[in-house]
Amino acid sequence: MVADARERQEPSTVTEQDHPELDVLPDWPLDTIAVLVTTDPAPHAIPVSWPVRAGDHRILLSLKSDRGSLARLRERPEVALLILGGGNVALCARGKARVIADPMPGADDYVAVELTVEVIDDHRQSAFAVATGIQRTVLDGTELRYLEKRVAALEAMAADRN
């Protein structure tokens, strides 16, 4: 009977003190692919190319203007960005997103999004290291140059604010 009572107990919840957090965003490789999570209220996750670290608590992204994730973050700005990158970067940046350029300079079909990071969950583990993060092969050189152009615009926006 005692065992039955224990089995019915609710699992304990993890408190914020139980999960490590970082004070500031680390650096990550330029070609990092991250995962942006928005809600409506169910979570939706999409890959985003080459997020730009724009300060200790700020990340810039380019999102295609016709994406559902853009509409969701405009409605509910609380988002999460999972970054798994080379150099053992494993974190989830949580905070509020907002559009800072619509359209992006030089990219009429994209908007620039700023994520103001409130919490940085540290997901590194002592038994594993993230060596390279998510990898992909470029199939269209024109699209790669367009991505590089957007990232240069985001980096310029980051520099203007710093």
How high does pLDDT run on average in the chain?
A: 88
Q: Which domains does the chain have, with CATH numbers?
A: 18-161 (2.30.110.10)
The Cα-based distances of 54 to 58, 91, 113 in angstroms read 5, 16, 11
Whether 159 has a pLDDT exceeding 80, the answer reads yes
Decide: 103 and 113 in contact? Cβ < 8 Å: no
When pLDDT is averaged across residues 71-100 and rounded to a whole number, the result is 96
Its pTM stands at 0.86
DSSP E strands, 50-155: 52-53, 58-64, 78-85, 89-101, 110-122
When pLDDT is averaged across residues 26-30 and rounded to a whole number, the result is 95
Residue-wise pLDDT for 92-109, tens only, equals: 999 999 999 999 999 999
- What pLDDT score does 1 carry? 43
